[in-house]
Structure 1
Amino acid sequence: MYLPFPNIMRIFRHVHRSGGDWETALLNNISKRHLMTPEEKEQEAQQEKMNRRKIRQRERNELIRTICEATGHH
């Protein structure tokens, strides 16, 4: 796993200021997506896919409603 230099510096700074609390330093400075299990990642991906599908359906319904109102078809 690659950690950007600013994150590494924040980790060291946190550890120094907290008197050695590596766990909190790492958890606060590593992206949550890197800490997820493959199952959690899959579940999140499925949720995102469903949310995108719902948004597209809502937008499609709004467009149809707008067209129907504009053309006098209800």
Structure 2
Amino acid sequence: MVNTFHELGGAIGVAVLSTIAAPSLIGQIPAGQIPAGFGGAFMAMTVVALATALIAAVLLPSGELPVLDGPHVH
């Protein structure tokens, strides 16, 4: 289940970022410049990464994890 959601999240992320960057690929791009759509895609990745880090910092418990008897499985 964890692996399925990991793969699905990655696929959706790539699709969204490709959609943001795609309009900049129409026409000629001057040498040495980053197309505007890719700048927007990088900015979107940055915002999502920061928001995810903040959410994780708030929701994840602090301290040590409890030691359980038996093997660790998902």
Give 1 or 2: higher helix fraction. Answer: 1
- Please give the TM-score of this superposition, normalised by the length of structure 1: 0.38
- Please give the TM-score of this superposition, normalised by the length of structure 2: 0.38
